[in-house]
Structure 1
Amino acid sequence: ASEIKNLLLYGLLPIFYQHLQVDKAAHIALFVCAIRIDFALQKIINQQEVDNGKRNEGAFDITRLSINNIDELLSWHKRVCDCNQTATCIIIYHRCVIKNQTYHSLSYPKRQSTNSYFVKYTNDRRDTLFGAIELFFTYKNSTLALINNYPNEHLFSDVFASSSYHSSLSKYINTYFYLLQAKPSSFHYVPIHKILNICVVFEKDDFIIVTPISPVYEHD
């Protein structure tokens, strides 16, 4: 049942939209949006139960990576701190619990095919951003993620620009599906409270489609 739900909520549209006539694809898109809105409302109703069972938040699973081999962290530390004890000032981790959800990083050797490292996040301007978590690290009393950012290509609703349903779809579809460039462009240093969701990623020839998923409460 969970496999069918996941296909319906997350995979149906990105997988099949290119193989359908645009209005038929738009019909499916409207259906998927309706299902996801209903699912989100159920999540809100059940959120109190989740809050009552919160796990300790923060980074865990210290890595053996040396900060001296990670130029992005060295340059960041140089900008924010004047100490010469980089190896003890910054501690690197493979995993992190954020809002009761376990996130992995690309540095985590046991992640295998699990994609819990590609995320939706935000910044101080409240932009919606996406990227792959390279690692987690702590600095003083803060926990951050080093994220390789994938820029937006264009709105997913543009796919349905020639459809008579384009106006209706635009109100909802761009909340659930995002079309991004195929390659990352820059690194961001993101406080973990600004990480919002894990995403499912669908790779196309020259772009990727991502869709944020509702929290799945793991037990690892």
Structure 2
Amino acid sequence: MKKKEKINKNKKIDAWQIVAYIAIIVIIISIVNFGMRLTGHATSTDTAVVNVTVSATAAINFTTDFINFGSGGVSDGSSSAMLESNGTAAVGGSWNWGSAQNFTLENIGNVNVSLDLKTSKTAATFIGGFLPQYNFTVRDTETGSCLQPGTTLGVWQSVNTTGDGTKICGNFTPEGAHDKITIDVRLVIPSDSFSGNEALTDTFTAKGTSA
């Protein structure tokens, strides 16, 4: 009889343990599910926009804008003297300016531009005499600055006094390390040229391009 009671008592204890375990499992599952629901409700996303408009600007600036050959004359026995600004002295003459000179032009805008050069005087009206010459040549100060040369880079060209002048670069870039070009000048002065101080103005015109 006692053995039977003991068995029944053990069964009751086991039954309560099972109920307790089930209750604990239910509580744990409920807590886990509740936590997952809280995490889901706490998640939220949204977006924001930053907008800015930059105006297109076509602008050029001379880093150096003055060439001065100084005083001199054609050497005795020579029909003319040749002065090239990227040199230091005349050939066939007494001009000596000491160091190379040029026009250095920079694209300080934010768009590609086409560039024209027009001069105020022809060689005949600027220098005078028999077969005078006034020429220019264009080269990149920084590689890749002139992507579409209007004239062959590094080749001497005659100046132009008509219209907008001569297109010297069809695509002059504004990119930081590729935005400078150099223009050198050459004069051929005949022995029967004008005397005295002579000067002229070169005009460079920049127009924005879509390139």
Bin for the TM-score computed over the shorter chain: under 0.3
Q: What TM-score do the two structures reach when normalised by structure 2?
A: 0.22
The structure with more strand, counted as a fraction of residues: 1
> Looking at both structures, which has the greater relative contact order when contacts are Cα pairs under 8 Å and sequence separation is at least 6?
2
Structure possessing the higher radius of gyration over alpha carbons? 2
Q: What TM-score do the two structures reach when normalised by structure 1?
A: 0.22
